[in-house]
Every structure is written in structure tokens, then in C-alpha cells.
Amino acid sequence: MLLTDTLSSQILFLACVFYTYALLLRVLLSAGLHRRTRILTAFVLFDWILLQGLLSWNGIYSNYPQAMPPYLLLFAVFPCVLVILVLMLSPSGRRFQNSLSQDTLVLIHTVRIPVEFGLYLLYRHQLVPQLMTFEGRNFDILAGLSALLMFGLLRTRRLNRMLLIGWNVIGLVLLLNIVVHGLLSAPSPIQQLAFDQPNVALLHFPYALLPAFIVPVVLWAHLSSLRLAFRQGDPQHTLT
């Protein structure tokens, strides 16, 4: 049944957040990290979700739309990008990623399915522009649906390296597409799109957790999967 009220939209987005968090915990388990490290990382991730929830709940992002740089970028997106860079470039970060499994990384992308339905509901409530939905310029749901197929192929060892690389590249393009449209349609000094219906939802709780948590996790999962594919060759070697 189609969800028709904003409370249901909020519940759906919160479910997406904690589904992503649960998958990250699965990543930590698959990496074989020390128990103390897993627990500490789980607490840090939860604290980040809590911090971003409090910031958006108290209007830090929505009350100052003309701040430059936009507060959502400054306090949410930029720190996540920095963490991703550290994981990708530092010796300890590379060792961590070398221990990951491809199927766990691919499974993360299934969160893009409910997220896209959530964005559609927000459009129905006139909280995001149509261009951010699958009725507009957002085709990200295809990455989520195809992730189910990719996960099945990985589990049955029927996925070759080039297909995995190609899927990740296409997934990154789809992600970049919606990120750019979301950024340029949000009320801010750099807004270029959707002036008739700006992207106001993602400045509020709990929707701010999409750019502040879910999108960075999806981005990191793509980059890590690509790194493993290029480094190890046959993806079946990284199955749990």
C-alpha cells in the first residue's frame, strides 16, 4: 500500500538509515577486525547518525539556507568525504578494505530501492522536486534493483570481474547524477534548479541523514568494491 503521510515518510527514511547501519556492521564482521575495534567503530557510526539527527532536528541546516558554504556540506558531507579519502589512501585504511568481501559491499546498494520510493513520497508532499524522483531525472533505483542480481551472482560465483567493474562505474554515475541534482535544487546560494519546488526536505530531520550518512556509505561501497576488483581480479575470491 502506498504511504501517504509525512510520518510514514519519516519512518521509511529512518528505516533506510538503520538498514544501512546494519549493513555496515555486517561489513565490520566480514572484515575480521578485532572485537574492540568493531565495537568502537559501531559506536562512532551510531554517534555520527545521532549527531546529524540532532543538527537537522534543531534546524542547523534548514534555518540557514543562504550560508556559504552550505552548512549541510560543511558539517555533514565534507567530513564524510574526508573519512572516505583517509580509508582509500592511508595504509591502515587500505589494509581494512583489503579484508572486505564483495558481496557485503554490493548488498549495501539495496538501500537505494526504498530511498527512491521515499524521495517519490517527498515529491508527492511537495518537499522535493520531481527531477529528484524516478519520474524525473533520478534513475538510481536501477542501481538498487541490479544490486540484488549482482549479489546473487556473487554468492553463486557467476560474476566476472569486468561485469562487476562496469556495474560499479554505472552505479557511481547514477549516484553522481542524483547528488548533483539534489545539491543544485536545494535552497542555497548555489541553487540552479527547481526554483518552483526546491529540495527542502533534505535540510530537515530525518531526511538530512540521506546526504549525511546513506549517500557517503553508498559512495564508499562503490569505491571499495572497485578497488577490490582491480586488486584481486576474480570477485569470487572475496566472498565471505
**What range defines the domain where residue 88 resides?**
6-238
Counted domains in the chain: 1
Q: Does some domain include residue 1?
A: no
Q: Which range among 7-21, 105-119, 183-197, 202-216 shows the weakest confidence by mean pLDDT?
A: 183-197
Q: Mean pLDDT across the chain, nearest whole number?
A: 88
Phi, psi of 234 (to 5 degrees): -60, 120
Left if phi > 0, otherwise alpha if psi is -120 to 50, otherwise beta: which for 144?
Answer: alpha
Contacts of 15 (CB under 8 A, 6+ apart): 114
Q: Does some domain include residue 100?
A: yes
Summarize pLDDT for 52-84 with one digit per residue, the tens. Answer: 999 999 999 988 878 888 899 999 999 999 999
Q: Does some domain include residue 213?
A: yes
How far CA 196 is from CA of 61, 131, 184, in Å, comes to: 20, 12, 13
- How much is the pLDDT for 99? 83
Q: Does some domain include residue 77?
A: yes
- How much is the pLDDT for 117? 92
Burial of residue 235 (number of CB atoms within 10 Å: 0-12, 13-18, 19+): buried
What's the pTM?
Answer: 0.90
- How much is the pLDDT for 233? 57
| pLDDT over 70, % of the chain | 94
